[in-house]
Structure 1
């Protein structure tokens, strides 16, 4: 059985995962690669780098079929880039759902990515800076329902709505306005679709879940970390590191 390591930058740190075939053995996070590998203390035959390589142009399979890395995704129009860790989350979710067709809303690092998945491929995406703007405006959760509906119906007034929320110190309203405007813009991605929310930040995922519930959109929510083991197993199998 091949012993291998998957590692890559996670914000200002580096995270490494020790794999024995398709089984996750251990993980470690440190300030740099050398420290992460030392903390992992795992002898491996091969290392797969998460985030290295040329991004795969959409539409693209969730897992590469060769190489020594897992790059992210890139879309030409509208221009967008999705990080490799989010690609791994999507892979983990879809690992036991080969015919699943729907939309994943992946939220991380101040960005939300709405990604259409079909037959184990990422078909297209649309991304927003709303999570980062919520943080910048000191937004609170859960989002204010009235504000959310206001921006769903009148997204062109978002800047004015945000100023009003700022002046009146209605932090939950700021959150509602931002998510409402995003939902309106992302409507082609969630209307009539099965939506899966994946995030490494529980609070903001719950905020988006609340907004989808207000629109009666069927959805489920996953913690990103819970999907990584299945994602790594699917990645290793795709790269033929084990049978």
Structure 2
């Protein structure tokens, strides 16, 4: 029997559940609903820690909650934003082996890219974009055209015109490049002069940032999630 189970709905993945024994990760399952996810674990009688439940914590806020039996989302008043609770878990997983890490994390979840300023184990502020969702809606590519990216990075005010030209030309890579270039222009205050980590990169953000001379680390959600849950278990007093 597992000591506890982290469970919650995740954008694009239905309900995700992880079986934990203390600070040890055991297994994971996902399904359309909670019953299916618990059945997939094969051990549904542990203490449930709900990821995403509860009143969101307002920024600035600790990466992980200080207590309770939930890990809620994060929220920000200006600009208005909500950052999913699983993103908190990923950040905790990234920081698990990087004590006193300060910088910017760009995390992509559910068609949204979140730029999060991390300092002293807190999420200080955030700026989010719908670029991945727009890329899917417009039929963009999996990686950006470098010329298009540079063009919209330097002239983001022409984004709509650039997108139309790429659409007419049937150039999916240019569509993606223009979208990412405009996002990097808008997020310049976050990444300029900072160390950056990109979590869940599926559109070439890491390469685009390196082209601007930004030191970038890459991490995948699958590797970070168990580490983040271990940190959560310790934070909530469930790790032994």
In structure 2, list runs of 5 or more residues that go unmatched.
Answer: none
User: In the alignment, which residue of structure 2 is the partner of 1:203?
Assistant: 202
Distance 2:23 2:205 in 1: 32
Distance 1:173 1:12 in 2: 28
Distance 1:110 1:68 in 2: 28
> TM-score scaled to structure 2, two decimals?
0.95
Distance 1:157 1:50 in 2: 40
RMSD in angstroms over aligned alpha carbons? Answer: 1.5
2:202 aligned counterpart, secondary structure = helix
User: In the alignment, which residue of structure 2 is the partner of 1:225?
Assistant: 222
Distance 1:17 1:92 in 2: 14
**How far off its partner does 1:21 sit?**
0.2
**How far off its partner does 1:185 sit?**
0.4
How many residue pairs get aligned? The number is 239
Distance 1:2 1:15, change over 3 A: closer
Distance 1:197 1:115, change over 3 A: same
1:97 aligned counterpart, secondary structure = coil
> TM-score scaled to structure 1, two decimals?
0.94
User: In the alignment, which residue of structure 1 is the partner of 2:4?
Assistant: 4
Distance 1:176 1:166 in 2: 12
**How far off its partner does 1:44 sit?**
4.3
Distance 1:2 1:66, change over 3 A: farther
**How far off its partner does 1:12 sit?**
5.6
User: In the alignment, which residue of structure 2 is the partner of 1:154?
Assistant: 155
Runs of 4+ in 1 over 6 A off after TM superposition: none
In structure 1, list runs of 5 or more residues that go unmatched.
Answer: none
Distance 1:169 1:43, change over 3 A: closer
Q: Deviations over 1:111-135 (max 9, x none)?
A: 1000000111100000000111111
Q: Deviations over 1:40-61 (max 9, x none)?
A: 1225441100010011100000
1:14 aligned counterpart, secondary structure = strand
Contact kept in structure 2, 1:102 and 1:195, CA below 8 Å: yes
